């Protein structure tokens, strides 16, 4: 009886200490979305259950190891206890009820997280290897996700290549982004600040760097930003260079092709590319070692058919081969104009 009493007290002490300790070290990042509140609530309940179960099992185990150790020279066996049906049924039924309750709470919390506001703001998200693009209904696209605080936003997300996943730790949610179908991410930011969206589904070489800023601002700041973007987009659309720059941003070219001469290791930089001498390692009907001049024809061909000429030091089949059909002739020419401008 004495053993049970001591162990019982220790279980309670350890359970409380574990729970208090885990709460004190702040396991989770800040709560930046309305959805994170019920999620953290459920999480805290689970931490309480975990702390209790941890103590319930660790204490008798460690206690036994110290107290019920075999004395030196004792060769006798322990007490012959084969089991106790009541006890066994109890420790089957009580956990069963616990997990059913937990599953019910999980369902309920999920319902809260998925709550739909019909007046939610819609933003289209495109994910590609390895960048994010946010298309606003106002008619411009951005590399940064700007959101107004305290208003529900629906992100309609689609991928152009492989599976990605939209994850903002402070929002406590993630959702995979698939090619060929739209998945949605419904979030109500509640805390002004700058966060980061990270791709949480391994998507190839530069997966680690597939991030983009998420900026939650007041309604007024958000509106001002929208106005500014609309004006900038309108201005840029006037010139081939501006259109080219927009297209490059929309298609995520710069996640592989740098524009400042730095090396990504994935694709050649565009800085100083125009009219330079490019050494090839192969391609369609191209002998390895051929040197060509990066003129307009070369740049256009490389956009439409990336496998035609492979630059020495880079792999084939990295760049999508869909731009020839996805872009119009004049759009491609705009992009080439933009590349030509990068001296």
299-318: which residues touch other proteins (CB under 8 A)?
310, 316-317
265 is a site residue for other proteins (CB under 8 A): yes
Given a contact cutoff of 8 angstroms between Cβ atoms, the answer to whether 201 and 164 are in contact is: yes
- Phi then psi for residue 282, to 5 deg, are 160, -160
Q: Is 326 in the site for other proteins (CB under 8 A)?
A: no
**Contact flag: residue 80 with other proteins (CB under 8 A):** yes
Per CB under 8 A, the list member of 155, 197, 203, 212 interacting with other proteins is 203
Evaluate whether 57 touches 220 at the Cβ level (below 8 Å).
Answer: no
Q: What is the dihedral of CA 23, 26, 31, 32, to 10 degrees?
A: 180
Q: Which is nearer to other proteins, 68 or 220 (CB)?
A: 68
**Interface residue with other proteins, options 202, 237, 275, 297 (CB under 8 A):** 202
Question: Exactly one of 110, 232, 234, 235 binds other proteins (CB under 8 A); which one?
Answer: 110
Determine how β-strand 121-128 pairs with β-strand 153-159.
Answer: parallel
Among 126, 131, 142, 165, binds other proteins (CB under 8 A): 165
Q: How many Å apart are CA 101 and CA 107, to the nearest integer?
A: 10
Tokens found for residue 317: 């089949």
139 vs 288, beta carbon nearer other proteins: 288
Using CB under 8 A as the binding rule, the residues of this chain from 9 to 48 that contact other proteins are 27-29, 38-39, 42-43, 46
Q: Angle, nearest 10°, between helix axes 329-341 and 240-250?
A: 100
> Closer CB to other proteins, residue 284 or residue 330?
284
Say how far apart CA 203 and CA 191 lie, in whole Å.
30
- Comparing CB distances to other proteins, the nearer of 86 and 119 is 86
Query: If binding is defined by CB under 8 A, does position 278 make contact with other proteins?
Result: no
């Amino acid at each position: 009886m004495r053993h049970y009493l001591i162990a019982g007290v220790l279980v309670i002490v350890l359970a409380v200490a574990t729970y208090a300790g885990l709460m004190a070290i702040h396991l989770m990042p800040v709560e930046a979305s309305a959805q994170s509140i019920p999620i953290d609530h459920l999480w805290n309940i689970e931490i309480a259950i975990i702390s209790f179960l941890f103590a319930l099992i660790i204490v008798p185990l460690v206690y036994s190891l110290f107290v019920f150790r075999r004395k030196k020279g004792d060769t006798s066996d322990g007490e012959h206890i084969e089991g106790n049906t009541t006890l066994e049924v109890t420790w089957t039924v009580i956990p069963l009820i616990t997990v059913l309750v937990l599953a019910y709470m999980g369902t309920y919390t999920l319902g809260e997280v998925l709550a739909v506001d019909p007046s939610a703001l819609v933003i289209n998200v495109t994910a590609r290897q390895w960048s994010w693009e946010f298309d606003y209904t106002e008619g411009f696209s951005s590399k940064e996700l700007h959101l107004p605080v305290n208003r529900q936003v629906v992100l309609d997300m689609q991928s152009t290549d492989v599976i990605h996943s939209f994850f903002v730790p402070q929002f406590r949610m993630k959702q995979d982004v698939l090619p060929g179908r739209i998945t949605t991410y419904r979030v109500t930011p509640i805390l002004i600040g700058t966060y980061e969206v990270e791709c949480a589904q391994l998507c190839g070489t530069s997966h680690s760097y597939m991030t983009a800023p998420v900026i939650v601002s007041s309604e007024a700041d958000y509106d001002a930003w929208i106005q500014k973007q609309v004006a900038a987009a309108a201005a840029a659309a006037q010139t081939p260079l501006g259109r080219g720059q927009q297209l490059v941003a929309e298609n995520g070219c710069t996640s592989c092709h740098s524009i400042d001469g730095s090396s990504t290791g994935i694709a050649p930089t565009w800085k100083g590319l125009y009219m330079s001498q490019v050494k090839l390692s192969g391609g369609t009907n191209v002998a390895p070692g051929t040197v060509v001049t990066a003129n307009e024809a070369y740049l256009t061909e490389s956009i439409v058919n990336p496998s035609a000429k492979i630059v020495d030091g880079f792999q084939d089949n990295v760049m999508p081969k869909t731009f020839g059909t996805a872009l119009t002739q004049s759009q491609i020419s705009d992009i080439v104009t933009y590349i030509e401008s990068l001296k």
